């Protein structure tokens, strides 16, 4: 579903991605972990062209994302992105946050968008928050609205960049539960996370990055018990 081939990227003279290749099969869930500055955010942002790349190729559902001939706005409809900071529209209610893009971009009727939006918010445990403004919602609730907003476009893949890092500890579980449910429903996902328990339990593969490279990729059963690289061993000794 997502294919990343030999991607390289620099900021100024600083190479932050070096020859990164990664295949994400349909319905699989990949955790990207690694130290700060490893290039995790940059990598995930290249998947929907929030960051350009210097060399290499990325395809999502067969569409070459960085090809100049590709209509990137159209391609992005297929890719949901959830950020660390929830980025909800502050002057819109939870439901309006969720229905805006389907109405504006997909020209969905208000009735259809609201029906779907309510279903999504309900499935995320927010059935009593349709009319709440973001400043009246907890961080965990806001992040679940952000997830509903991304899902409202019916994406084929979902990308998460540290979706729980800005949350108070007691709200982490509700957001991880929402992502777990998506995994069970077969959504293809790439999740940058520091939540090792979550990565171990939910993800099919762990991608460990350091210094702009994929140092190691393995199923969690292997990665967390018997990593190959010293970098990964060292990292795990600090975070587990």
Which residues form the interface with Mg ion (CB under 5 A)?
A: 40-41
* Strand segments (E) across 86-202: 157-161, 188-192
Q: Which of residues 144-173 bind ligand ADP (CB under 6 A)?
A: none
Q: Is 42 in the site for ligand ADP (CB under 6 A)?
A: yes
229 near 208, Cβ under 8 Å? Answer: yes
Main-chain phi, psi angles of 172, to 5 degrees = -65, -45
74 near 60, Cβ under 8 Å? Answer: no
Q: Is 36 in the site for ligand ADP (CB under 6 A)?
A: yes
Q: Is 41 in the site for ligand ADP (CB under 6 A)?
A: yes
Q: How far is the CB of 42 from Mg ion (least distance, A)?
A: 8
- Pick the binder of ligand ADP from 2, 4, 33, 38 (CB under 6 A): 38
- Tell me the β-bridge partners of 234: none
- Tell me the β-bridge partners of 58: 4
158 near 189, Cβ under 8 Å? Answer: yes
- Pick the binder of ligand ADP from 28, 39, 58, 66 (CB under 6 A): 39
Closest by Cα among 9, 37, 76 to 235: 37
5 near 58, Cβ under 8 Å? Answer: yes
Q: Considering the complex, state which of residue 107 and residue 238 has its C-beta at the smaller distance from ligand ADP.
A: 238
Q: How far is the CB of 41 from Mg ion (least distance, A)?
A: 3
Structure token pair of residue 66: 């960085």
Stretch that binds ligand ADP, among 32-40, 79-87, 166-174, 177-185 (CB under 6 A): 32-40
Q: Is 141 in the site for ligand ADP (CB under 6 A)?
A: no
Q: How far is the CB of 83 from ligand ADP (least distance, A)?
A: 12
Q: Considering the complex, state which of residue 38 and residue 60 has its C-beta at the smaller distance from ligand ADP.
A: 38
Q: How far is the CB of 131 from Mg ion (least distance, A)?
A: 33
């Amino acid at each position: 579903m997502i294919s990343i081939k030999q991607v390289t990227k620099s900021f100024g003279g600083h190479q932050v991605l070096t020859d990164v290749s990664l295949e994400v099969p349909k319905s699989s869930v990949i955790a990207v972990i690694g130290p700060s500055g490893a290039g995790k955010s940059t990598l995930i942002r290249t998947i929907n062209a929030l960051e350009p790349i210097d060399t290499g190729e990325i395809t999502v559902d067969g569409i070459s994302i960085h090809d100049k001939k590709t209509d990137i706005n159209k391609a992005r409809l297929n890719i949901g992105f959830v950020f660390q900071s929830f980025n909800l529209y502050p002057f819109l209610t939870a439901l309006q946050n969720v229905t805006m893009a389907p109405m504006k971009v997909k020209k969905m009727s208000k009735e259809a968008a609201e029906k779907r939006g309510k279903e999504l918010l309900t499935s995320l445990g927010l059935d009593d928050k349709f009319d709440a403004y973001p400043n009246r919602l907890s961080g965990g609730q806001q992040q679940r609205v952000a997830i509903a907003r991304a899902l409202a476009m019916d994406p084929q893949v979902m990308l998460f960049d540290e979706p729980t890092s800005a949350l108070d500890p007691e709200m982490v579980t509700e957001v991880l539960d929402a992502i777990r449910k998506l995994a069970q429903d077969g959504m293809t996902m790439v999740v940058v996370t520091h939540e090792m328990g979550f990565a171990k339990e939910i993800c099919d593969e762990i991608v460990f990055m350091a210094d702009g490279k994929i140092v190691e990729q393995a199923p969690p059963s292997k990665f967390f018990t018997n990593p190959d690289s010293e970098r990964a061993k060292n990292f795990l000794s600090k975070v587990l």
